[in-house]
Amino acid sequence: MQHLAKYIDHTLLKQDATFDQIETLCQEAKQFDFMSVCIQPHFVSYAKQKLVESTVKVCTVIGFPLGQNHRETKVFETKKAISEGADEIDMVMNISLLKTNKFHELYLEIAEIKHACSGRVLKVILETCLLTHEEIIKACEIAKEAKADFVKTSTGFSTGGATIEHVRLMKKTVGDKLQVKASGGIRSLSEMQSMIEAGATRIGTSSGVRILQGQTSQSAY
């Protein structure tokens, strides 16, 4: 079971999260040796301090959860997060650009944020529940062209989370060029294993502790 821990981004993105809860999140991440904690930008420097001398990375979200910020705003957010200690960036892409065929603008958004990451890992959140299969394929192709590191299914704040079908489609599209992160609604060991079998190499969940304990969580994310 422990070998699965490094698949998990231990996640707390709720609007009412407190510093005490972030401290607990970091303690759990160290105890179970998760890959990262995934938190709002406001908590990055605090989490970095709590995780010093551990192998757990700090992951934060950009343009979260709607992705509708101006490109320049997202780039600024990214640079600020990196300066405060973020190791990985999960950006919400601008879905409107995809759906209105402004593919070059979407490419520029991802490429500029990747540049702002200064070598750190960039995951592009597609929000697959709002996309057709054709749009998922196109978004993956653009993320690949822009040299992102991962495509990610979901924010967990929209109309649905990760599905095995979407993870398989994303992995088929990106091949070995990018990795796939499944997030949103993964609450049990069997669900996590199914996502991994479908091609995910990272799992975003707030239920990581219960999953590794063989329990099923009732968490919303």
Active-site annotation, residues: 90, 152, 181
DSSP 61: E
Task: Report whether 152 contacts 124 (CB < 8 A).
Answer: yes
Query: How long is the chain?
Result: 221
Token digits of residue 217: 């969580």
Q: Where are the beta strands (DSSP E) in 128-170?
A: 150-152
Instruction: Give the contacts of 76 (CB within 8 A, at least 6 positions apart).
Output: none
Alpha carbon 69 to its chain centroid, in Å, reads 18
